[in-house]
Chain A
């Protein structure tokens, strides 16, 4: 059983919001709804980092646990989807979700919510794959065509990667190793410059 996951590499994300735009365009989501967003920590300060957030397709999804009509289901690929024909727009999933993924069109009476909308991993919904009704309700179903989510494919720096958890983990691990190597190499250079010869710890430290 595959488990589709997103991963956003904070070392790479440059807060271009390309993924947000790609998502809006691909799925033609209603006004006011953003299935994906980019959050920047310590904006403009040293150590600034950005992360792109959407539904994480949790293995044991809180939204599904709390939904009073049980309209969530997890596909065989580990994608958490929901049925808009069953959803009543109560908003409980939004309160339970740690990532603020569920979104609501603001079209009900008394400033209430419409039916919940969230990231589908570009895998549509419970309706027939790539039917026009599916597109209208859930957006694009790239997954049925064997494609990955539009946001991840669009990401210019490949910060946002999507796919099977194992493969995503592999990519991520390689990056970590490369980074560690690069950092080590840099340390080596520094040491050589500061201490004279490589591997000789007796050199005089000049700064």
Chain B
């Protein structure tokens, strides 16, 4: 395993669990995207991730606390809720109808709310900053 890049190592580990399958679309060496996760307390976590996976996968696979992701990315639990920094909002793409339905039930919904499992990491998102709500519910 020594010769493997950290991200490849973690993706190998993830391969064993089927709920991360969406993370495995990634192939070949690539540009790493930097994302900053800020907990409700202000604690910051900088991670590097592969384009192709979701922002939720980037958090969970790098051990960022505060994202439960109970449904594993199926857009059906809303426990991967984040607030996207205003300047990045447009680049994260459209909210899909299922995501809108789940978000609309959240008590902490804001204008910049997103479900992080529905944001696909692209090279355009290099430098993305998201904040976590106090609780995932």
Q: Say whether A associates with B.
A: no
